[in-house]
Structure 1
Amino acid sequence: MDATSDSKKLGAVKLSRVTFRATNRDGDPSALKNPAAAQSSRGASNVKPLPSEGSSKPTDTKKPTQSISLSGLLAAQRMTLRLKNQAALRRKARARTPNRKPINIINEQVPAGSANPAQRFPYSIAKELIQDFLTAKLRNVTYDPSTSADLTKNLCEDIKKIVRRVTPARYKLICNTAIGSKNQEDILVTSQCLWDSYSDNITSCSFQNSTMFCVVTVYAVYFE
């Protein structure tokens, strides 16, 4: 009985040694020295603690709301303004393109029976010249019936000489001048003539000071 019990004990010891070595072959080397600590650490790592009823918190199942940041909105506005400014600069650059020739969409038609001068009478330039001359000549002149006839004749000759400087060739000039007293009366000066409305032209100016008024009309008639 003693031998049998001794043999069972020895076999159990051998079996335990084989089992022990097989389970701890790939484990931590420190577990060979302390197998109880290794088993306790494995049990602690595999078992998850159950949450306690008092410490449990309800989970929030609501989705986060999307909010627009102020900085992003300002950045978008700045980008839009920059694009608008760039488009405006491009349009201005196209408008300021140099050396662009004018395009004649509709050619001016010469009426039948009208003269066709190479250069037409510049009535706007002539009007400015006459206006400057009357202002300088009659600024300090007082109306006098005895000298009005001579003054009118001299004004006509001087105005024709001034306008002749800017008049193209083959134009004849006719100057009509009227001078009157300024005594609170109303006066109306009109003129009418028959001419070629395409080649001929007219310009008119008026001047007045404290005592007199002067009305000048210049006709430019093209002569073929």
Structure 2
Amino acid sequence: MTSKTGGKRASVASVRINMEASDKPAQKAPIRNKPSLGNVSVSTHASWSISGLLAAQRMTKNFKERRAHKVALVKKIEIVEPQPPSFASRPPEKVQVSAIRQILEGYLPLRLGDTTYDPKQVPSLVKEISDEIRSQVKKVLPARYKMLCVATMGERGQEDIKVVSRCLWDPHADNYAAHVYQNDSLFCVVSVYTVFCE
């Protein structure tokens, strides 16, 4: 191939023009040890075959209908608001979990702010905390709800601990709230479970 003055390779079209010009006797002879390109032709016409057209037709057959069907299926699955099943409890008023959390978040720092861990006093302290929280939460509970308050307290050291609970209840009516309080000496985990009784 011949190169242009800028050091770039010539395009195929320019090679063809240069090769036609080489038929003139005044042109230089081709460089040795390089095969000549001969007549280079450029085709700008697309080549089509019947089998290719049939394959393309099969691939795009009903494409718009299939796409519209997929979009319609996605829209049908969308759930706006899940309804409780017929056997679920339907309380007239549900528990406000945020109100119970506010009680826990306000009470525990006031009660345990400067308390140090003493293993002899922990059983009575946990019972007092549980009773006081229960009396405050009863004020915000709707009618026909029962409540269970569980307090767990331990010494804060190098160890890790997990407090886990498992309940069997109606998720449409029952709920819970939990809060963790820590100071330099101890940790306290309080969980309040509310269950609707029919």
TM-score range normalised by the length of the shorter chain:
0.5 to 0.7
Question: Which of 166, 176, 179 lines up with 1:205 in the alignment?
Answer: 179
1:131 is matched with 105
Aligned partner of residue 146 in structure 2, secondary structure: strand
Q: Give me the whole-angstrom Cα distance separating, in 1, the residues matched to 2:95 and 2:124.
A: 28
2:134 is matched with 160
Matched ranges for 1:70-109 at <5 A:
106=80, 109=83
Q: Give me the whole-angstrom Cα distance separating, in 2, the residues matched to 1:189 and 1:166.
A: 26
Cα-to-partner distance string for 1:131-153 (whole Å, 9 max, x where unaligned): 11001000010100000000011
Amino acid at match of 2:147: L
The gaps in structure 1 that reach 5 residues or longer are 1-104
Question: Which of 71, 79, 88 lines up with 1:114 in the alignment?
Answer: 88
Q: Give me the whole-angstrom Cα distance separating, in 2, the residues matched to 1:195 and 1:201.
A: 9
Aligned partner of residue 143 in structure 2, secondary structure: coil
Cα-to-partner distance string for 1:85-105 (whole Å, 9 max, x where unaligned): xxxxxxxxxxxxxxxxxxxx9
Aligned partner of residue 169 in structure 1, secondary structure: coil
Q: Give me the whole-angstrom Cα distance separating, in 1, the residues matched to 2:189 and 2:169.
A: 21
The sequence identity of aligned pairs, in percent, is 38
Aligned partner of residue 132 in structure 2, secondary structure: helix
Question: Which of 171, 176, 190 lines up with 2:150 in the alignment?
Answer: 176
Q: Give me the whole-angstrom Cα distance separating, in 2, the residues matched to 1:193 and 1:107.
A: 25
Question: Which of 112, 122, 126 lines up with 1:148 in the alignment?
Answer: 122
State the 1:127 CA deviation.
0.5
Q: Give me the whole-angstrom Cα distance separating, in 1, the residues matched to 2:81 and 2:190.
A: 34
**CA 1:143–1:110 in structure 2 vs 1: closer, same or farther (change >3 Å)?**
same
Aligned partner of residue 204 in structure 1, secondary structure: strand
State the 1:113 CA deviation.
1.1
Amino acid at match of 2:86: A
- RMSD value over aligned CA atoms? 1.4
Cα-to-partner distance string for 1:88-126 (whole Å, 9 max, x where unaligned): xxxxxxxxxxxxxxxxx9565222211100110101111
The gaps in structure 2 that reach 5 residues or longer are 1-78
Does 1:192 pair with 2:153? no
Amino acid at match of 1:199: A
Question: Which of 189, 193, 197 lines up with 1:219 in the alignment?
Answer: 193
Aligned partner of residue 128 in structure 2, secondary structure: helix
Amino acid at match of 2:96: P
Aligned partner of residue 135 in structure 1, secondary structure: helix
Amino acid at match of 2:193: Y
Higher relative helix content: 1
